[in-house]
Structure 1
Amino acid sequence: MKDVSRREFLLASAMGVASSALPSIATSAEKAPMYGLIGKIDVVPGQRPAVVAALLEGVNGMPGCLSYVVAEDPADANAIWVTEVWDSKEHHANSLTLPAVQDAIKRARPYITGFSEHVETNPVGGRGLVAAR
């Protein structure tokens, strides 16, 4: 029996996983794309906990929201990253009119100094992310 190197084993495993995923990839291409946002929020020094709390309290009950992650930037004590995945761009837009979201924005706004980075994405899947379609 031939000894298989670690590299050969990993390559063969990756090819097997990729080939088994092909039918689901083809199926997901037929679905409407998910909508994603990744943004960096700059805050007043010392106020990051208040903004994080406001953002996290406003996330429940948002129709179409598949993932909403608030993260502190370890390299910048005055920065927060928010990563969102929605089943559609329309659901994201509609979420901004929800009372809980409006309240979160109202409470966080005085401590936000800007949005230094903002990227729109078309998520295709990932661990913990299940498309609603």
Structure 2
Amino acid sequence: MDRRNFILATGTMLMAGPFAGVGNALALEDNMTAGKGDTMFGLIGKFTATVGQRDALIDILLEGLQGMPGCISYIVARDPADATAIWVTEVWDNADSHKASLTLPSVQAAIAKARPMIAGMQSVAATEPVGGVGLG
């Protein structure tokens, strides 16, 4: 299960059920990156885990963090104000690398494993990172 990228992979890819709002992020991704192959691509997403499953979901998101081509940063964080919420922040060298990651069998397997633990997705935002610590 090569990596947790499952997270927005999950949202971005499934676009149905608990991930219904994520289709907008993909459309935004397409609009933001049209003709910008060298532009970094970012995603920020908030998942809600089913009650009692946040830590198990976090474990899935953190599996196999190495070896994801084009992934510059992938951060999973607990929401201190909500016992069911998880925030994931991703930075990719470009949108194509992010899209390619969604086709990996390991990501698809992670999505299948995590799906029953996800109650919903409140927000997904596509961003265009420009710099910062760790981004060069």
TM-score, normalisation: structure 2: 0.70
Aligned to 1:41: 47
CA contact (8 A) 1:36 1:120 kept: yes
Q: What are the Cα deviations for residues 50-91 of structure 1, in whole angstroms up to 9, with x where unaligned?
A: 110001104321100000000000000001000000001111
Give the counterpart of 2:87 among 81, 85, 90: 81
- Structure exhibiting the larger radius of gyration computed from Cα positions: 1
Return structure 1 stretches of 4+ with deviation > 4 angstroms. Answer: none
SS of equivalent residue, structure 1 residue 49: helix
SS of equivalent residue, structure 1 residue 77: coil
Give the counterpart of 1:105 among 104, 111, 117: 111
Relative to structure 1, is the Cα distance of residues 60 and 104 closer, same or farther in structure 2, using a 3 angstrom cutoff? farther
Q: What are the Cα deviations for residues 28-53 of structure 1, in whole angstroms up to 9, with x where unaligned?
A: xx982100000000110110011100
User: Structure 2: which amino acid aligns with 1:63?
Assistant: P
Give the Cα separation in 2 of the matches to 1:31 and 1:120: 15
Give the Cα separation in 2 of the matches to 1:85 and 1:53: 20
Q: Alignment identity in percent?
A: 58
TM-score, normalisation: structure 1: 0.71
Give the counterpart of 1:55 among 47, 61, 69: 61
CA contact (8 A) 2:37 2:96 kept: no
Q: CA RMSD in A?
A: 1.6
Aligned residues: 101
Give the Cα separation in 2 of the matches to 1:84 and 1:67: 5
